Every structure is written in structure tokens, then in C-alpha cells.
Amino acid sequence: MVDQRIPWNQYFMAQAVLLSLRSTCTRLEVGATLVKDRRIIAGGYNGAVSGDNHCIDHGCYVVDGHCIRTIHAEMNALLQCAKLGISTDDAEIYVTHFPCLHCTKAILQAGIKKIYYLYDLS
């Protein structure tokens, strides 16, 4: 019998797409899923810092082509792991959009070994 289930990479990317639907930034909806040993360890989407104004309510605050009102999806996922004490060493990240330079540096510094992305807007 042939396994007809969705492949792991597609499954994890689909989770990132689903997370992007929670984004509160109207300029760009981004989702990120952190995976270790084929298990989801965290997820994030881009939106305002907890307790701050959201783009959907107050508009985007764009500087040099980036909305600085939001914290990026990748950082939200990484910070969730940091907050909960979950190691990201040798993990993988699935992101709906190619990570910015700051997020890429944080991803690499966190020990994440692979970055998968769906869209490249650069």
C-alpha cells in the first residue's frame, strides 16, 4: 500500500501558511513554524508586540520598506522557544516569506540548520 499522506515539508509549510492568517500586519502576512525531529516546537506570525497597537487598527508604520510596528513571525517563534526553554539547536524553520536579514541572523544564531520558504519578495 502506498502512503498517500501529505509529505512532511508540505505539512510544515501548510502550518506556516495557516499561522500567517493570524497576522495583524496588513502590508504582509507572514507565518513561521519551527520544527525539530519532525515535531512542531513553536509557531509565530507577524504582529504588534503584546499590548501594543496593531496595524489592522492603526495602520502600518513603514520605514525603509519594512513595517516596524510588528515583530516578525520568525522572531515570534524563536522567542516562544526562548520563553519556554525549548532548544532550537538543529531545528528547521518553515516561513511563508524569505526571512529578512535580521531574522536570518537570529535564525542562524539560534542553531537552526535549515530554512524553508514559500515566497521570495527580494
Residues known to be catalytic? 74
The 3-state secondary structure of 22-77, one letter per residue: CCCCCCCCCEEEEEECCEEEEEEECEECCCCCCHHHHCCCEECCEECCEECHHHHH
Q: How far apart are CA 98 and CA 118, in angstroms?
A: 7
55 is written with which cell numbers? 496595524
How many other CB atoms sit within 10 Å of the CB of residue 30?
A: 30
